[in-house]
């Protein structure tokens, strides 16, 4: 009888309740994650919310999502309570049955009273661990739902598979031939692009916003795979180059530099974790940001603040540039390095770049003609077609 009780309470009831709880566990986790990211997004964008006087709408949406989350939480708790109640009911039932059977056995003199009492009390006491098993589905469904989300994320396939054990090179020259590329099922962004660059050159690429300049740089780094044509470094096709080696040779400074909520020094070290203080300072001097950092209360140890809000766009950009110099790659790709900055910062950045001319190879992308003053040669992109202009 006790065995029957254990099987029902420890296996049958949990199996049934876990099936019933699964859906609510998954729903709860989904709403929970959705609410979290919406709320975090609202905090990150709080400045723009205030500027657009959209607090009311945003708050309304936060409340709406919070209500949905509450509803899902209640649903889940309700399910867990129901499962718990079913378990308790079964326990009571089995205890009652064993007591009745015990009394009957004593009544018909098939068992003496002492043995019956010991038996019944033992059965009473033995349900503890089984109850613990029975309580598992309530917690486990949520754990499994969370696990599912993580596993789904892990099984996402990247757009490009990194090349492992590929060829290695030390940057000498770059040659691009008949390169064409389109993002999935949209119009071609680049058409038969040809360009070349060699060590020590500053190449400018200029073109209207949206013409494919950033896409071109991403192809050079193999963030996307080209559709047609060739991208050769020292004559080796980019698809055959070891991905780590490619990133050692080529660095990109993007339009906005992301700074982590750490000290400036730690932010720079991302590029080279074991860099010495001298190396860090040299890179910052090259990027014309050393003097600025030294003017801060704690110098290189100054905390950047969440999302780098305490620094101007130009200062952040110069730190991004210092990162690139610190990394030590020969070829540096600069995507609109001066588009977010005022003319003083633009001047400083361009001056730093011009000074590094003999030491580094640079591909400089901008929609502004003024930025092109330091370039040795300039290509212009127009509706996906690239032509040399100087
Ligand atoms: N990940 C993407 N998926 C689809 N289309 C994209 C993606 N990134 C950029 N595009 C589109 O490709 C075109 C070129 O973009 P981009 O290279 O960023 O231009 P630029 O840097 O010259 O301003 C634009 O029309 C843009 O909308
Ligand atoms: Mg761009």
* pLDDT bucket at 332, cuts 50 / 70 / 90: very high
Determine, yes or no, domain membership for 15.
Answer: yes
Mean pLDDT of the region 233-253? 93
Q: Are residues 365 and 221 in the same domain?
A: yes
> Rounded to the nearest whole angstrom, what is the distance from the C-alpha of residue 8 to the centroid of ligand 1?
60
Smallest-distance ligand from the CA of 223: 1
SS3 state at 259: coil
Determine, yes or no, domain membership for 159.
Answer: no
> Rounded to the nearest whole angstrom, what is the distance from the C-alpha of residue 33 to the centroid of ligand 2?
31
Pocket test for ligand 1, best of 211, 215, 226 (most atoms within 8 A of CB): 215
Residue the block writes with tokens 């339009």: 255
CATH at residue 217:
3.40.50.300
> Rounded to the nearest whole angstrom, what is the distance from the C-alpha of residue 188 to the centroid of ligand 1?
10
355 close to 179: Cβ distance less than 8 angstroms: no
Q: What are φ and ψ of residue 35, in 5° steps?
A: -60, -45
pLDDT digits (tens, 9 = 90+) for 45-67: 999 999 999 999 999 999 999 99
Instruction: Tell me which residue range forms the domain holding 85.
Output: 2-154
> How many whole angstroms separate alpha carbon 182 and alpha carbon 359?
34
Determine, yes or no, domain membership for 289.
Answer: yes
Determine, yes or no, domain membership for 122.
Answer: yes
* pLDDT bucket at 210, cuts 50 / 70 / 90: confident
Q: Are residues 231 and 375 in the same domain?
A: yes
Q: Are residues 347 and 236 in the same domain?
A: yes
Determine, yes or no, domain membership for 185.
Answer: yes
323 close to 268: Cβ distance less than 8 angstroms: yes
* pLDDT bucket at 385, cuts 50 / 70 / 90: confident
Residue 352 contacts by C-beta under 8 Å, 6 or more apart in sequence? 286, 287, 288, 318, 321
Give the number of the atom of ligand 1 that is nearest the alpha carbon of residue 218.
17
Domain count, the chain: 2
Mean pLDDT of the region 90-102? 91
Task: Identify the residues whose C-beta falls under 6 Å from ligand 1.
Answer: 183, 186, 189, 207, 209-215
> Rounded to the nearest whole angstrom, what is the distance from the C-alpha of residue 159 to the centroid of ligand 2?
20
Return the H-helix or E-strand segment holding 117.
helix 113-154
> Rounded to the nearest whole angstrom, what is the distance from the C-alpha of residue 212 to the centroid of ligand 1?
6
Mean pLDDT of the region 9-33? 87
* Percent of residues in the chain assigned helix, strand, coil, to nearest 5: 55, 15, 25
Instruction: Identify the pLDDT of residue 308.
Output: 58
337 close to 368: Cβ distance less than 8 angstroms: no
Determine, yes or no, domain membership for 111.
Answer: yes
Determine, yes or no, domain membership for 65.
Answer: yes
* pLDDT bucket at 307, cuts 50 / 70 / 90: low
362 close to 217: Cβ distance less than 8 angstroms: no
Give the number of the atom of ligand 1 that is nearest the alpha carbon of residue 336.
21
Higher-confidence residue of 55 and 350: namely: 55
Among the ranges given (19-33, 212-226, 229-243, 339-353), the one the predictor scored with the smallest mean pLDDT: 339-353
308 close to 259: Cβ distance less than 8 angstroms: yes
């Amino acid at each position: 009888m006790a065995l029957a009780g254990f099987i029902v309470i420890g296996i049958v009831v949990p199996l049934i309740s876990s099936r019933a709880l699964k859906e609510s566990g998954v729903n709860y986790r989904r709403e929970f994650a959705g609410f979290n990211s919406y709320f975090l997004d609202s905090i990150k964008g709080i400045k723009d919310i205030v500027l657009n006087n959209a607090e009311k709408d945003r708050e309304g949406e936060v409340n709406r999502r919070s209500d949905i989350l509450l509803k899902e939480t209640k649903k889940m708790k309700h399910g867990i309570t129901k499962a718990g109640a079913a378990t308790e009911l079964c326990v009571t039932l089995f205890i009652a049955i064993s007591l009745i059977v015990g009394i009957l056995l004593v009544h018909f003199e098939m068992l003496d009273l002492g043995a019956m009492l010991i038996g019944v009390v033992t059965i009473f006491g033995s349900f503890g661990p089984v109850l613990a098993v029975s309580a598992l589905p309530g917690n486990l469904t949520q754990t499994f739902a969370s696990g599912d989300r993580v596993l789904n994320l892990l099984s996402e396939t990247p757009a490009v598979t990194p090349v492992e054990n590929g060829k290695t090179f030390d940057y000498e020259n770059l040659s691009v031939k008949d390169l064409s590329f389109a993002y999935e099922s949209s119009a071609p962004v680049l058409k038969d692009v040809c360009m070349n660059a060699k060590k020590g050159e500053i190449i400018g690429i200029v073109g209207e916003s949206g013409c494919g300049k950033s896409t071109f740089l991403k192809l050079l780094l193999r963030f996307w795979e080209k559709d047609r044509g060739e991208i050769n470094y020292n004559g080796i096709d980019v698809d055959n180059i070891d991905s780590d080696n490619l990133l050692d040779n080529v660095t990109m400074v993007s339009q906005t530099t992301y700074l982590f909520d750490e000290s400036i020094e730690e932010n720079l070290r991302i590029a080279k974790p074991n860099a010495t203080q001298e190396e860090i300072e040299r890179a910052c001097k090259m990027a014309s940001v050393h003097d600025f950092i030294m003017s801060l209360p704690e110098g290189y140890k100054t905390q950047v603040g969440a999302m780098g809000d305490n620094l101007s766009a130009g200062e952040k950009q110069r730190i991004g540039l210092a990162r690139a110099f610190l990394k030590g790659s020969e070829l540096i790709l600069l995507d609109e390095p001066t588009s977010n900055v005022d003319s003083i910062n633009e001047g400083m950045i361009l001056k730093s770049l011009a000074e590094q001319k003999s030491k580094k190879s640079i591909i400089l992308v901008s929609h502004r003609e003024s930025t092109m003053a330091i370039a040795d040669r300039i290509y212009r992109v127009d509706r996906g077609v690239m032509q040399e202009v100087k």
